[in-house]
Amino acid sequence: MKEIVSKFTPVVLIGGAGIAGLLFSLSDGQGGYFTMATVAMILISLVVLLNNLQILTTKVSRIIGVVLAVVSIVLIYLNVRSIQEPLEFRKEKEKRYSAVIQRLKDIREAQLAFHRKYNKYTSNFDTLEHFIKNDKVEVIRKIGEAPDTLTEDQALEQGIISRDTSMLPVREYVFNDEYMSKRKRNVIFHPDSLRYVPYTSGSIFDMHTNIIIRGSGMEVSVFIVEDSDPFDPEEVLKVGSLEEPTTSGNWSTEK
């Protein structure tokens, strides 16, 4: 009796595990690698059974068993990798896209400041970087508070409030402490780096401008900046548009 139990216990354990795994695979929608691995385990149990019944020699059964065991292990590994790879891809994508979005936001802020001064956008990164490092913008500050009974213009006319106009460096005004404190810290800010797509070997953003005519006949300057080397070709990040006057990005938080 003990001999029978010792002979058929491996058959029951291996075969049972294989059948249980197969049922789980079919019911849970596991990948093909996992299904094939469970089939290999069932075949191993059959080889052991045939050897116990002396239909296969010990040598042949060992060779077949080792081959099936190796195949099963390889298939399980491939199944694990098929699950891990999408997770790793998503994690890497989130890291890279977070940096790309931040740089697109920096470019947008620079373009908006450029437009406020020159009433147009630029398609040239050299021009934009020079503007950030060397140019100044006009800043108007209100001094005093207008009473509720008066508009700001009325209060200004009566001398209750006044306006002070000064020129501040672009970098100091646009990329001030408040803006910098809200930036993502996974991408360093520097005017000379604006053109480069993060986590690439020097790829440069595509930046273009256009003039569109509105229904009223008014000319409007527009721009677009697009990731030229996207980590995921099916999701290319960009900000702005050449067809409509928008400065929004196409990432989820701005949709």
Q: pLDDT tens-digit profile of 65-102? A: 676 667 777 766 766 676 677 788 788 899 999 999 99
Please say which residue of 50, 75, 90 terminates a domain.
Answer: 90
Domain ranges, residue 173: 92-254
Domains contained in the chain, number: 2
63 and 113 belong to one structural domain: no
pLDDT tier, 54 (very low <50, low <70, confident <90, very high otherwise):
low
59 and 163 belong to one structural domain: no
161 and 221 belong to one structural domain: yes
% of the chain at pLDDT higher than 70? 59
Q: Among the residues of 119-176, which ranges form H helices?
A: 125-134, 152-157, 170-174
210 and 101 belong to one structural domain: yes
Burial status of residue 209 (CB atoms within 10 A of its CB: 0-12, 13-18, 19 or more):
middle
Question: What is the per-residue pLDDT for 5?
Answer: 44
pLDDT tier, 8 (very low <50, low <70, confident <90, very high otherwise):
very low
118 and 190 belong to one structural domain: yes
Question: What is the per-residue pLDDT for 207?
Answer: 97
Which of 100, 117, 102, 105 is closest to 170 using CA atoms? 117
pLDDT tier, 184 (very low <50, low <70, confident <90, very high otherwise):
confident
Q: SS3 letters for 175-234?
A: CCHHHHHHCCCCCCCCHHHCCECCCCCCCECEEEEEEEECCCCCEEEEEEEECCCCCCCC
151 and 49 belong to one structural domain: no
71 and 162 belong to one structural domain: no
**Do the bridges between strand 136-143 and strand 162-169 make them parallel or antiparallel, or are there none, so unpaired?**
antiparallel
Please say which residue of 90, 117, 144 terminates a domain.
Answer: 90
147 and 218 belong to one structural domain: yes
44 and 166 belong to one structural domain: no
Quick one: average pLDDT of 156-180? 72
85 and 100 belong to one structural domain: no
Please say which residue of 52, 69, 90 terminates a domain.
Answer: 90
Question: What is the per-residue pLDDT for 248?
Answer: 92
More confident residue, 193 or 150: 193
More confident residue, 246 or 33: 246
Mean pLDDT of the chain: 77
CA distance 112 to 52: 81
Q: pLDDT tens-digit profile of 24-52? A: 555 555 567 666 666 666 666 665 555 55
Which of 66, 88, 69 is closest to 77 using CA atoms? 69
Going by C-beta distance under 8 Å and a sequence separation of 6 or more, which residues neighbour residue 173? 113, 137, 139
Examine the pLDDT at 180 and tell me if it is beyond 60.
yes
Question: What is the per-residue pLDDT for 174?
Answer: 86
198: which 2 tokens? 């993060």
Residue owning tokens 């928008």: 246
CA distance 216 to 233: 38
34 and 96 belong to one structural domain: no
84 and 101 belong to one structural domain: no
Q: pLDDT tens-digit profile of 212-245? A: 987 777 889 999 999 999 999 999 999 999 999 9
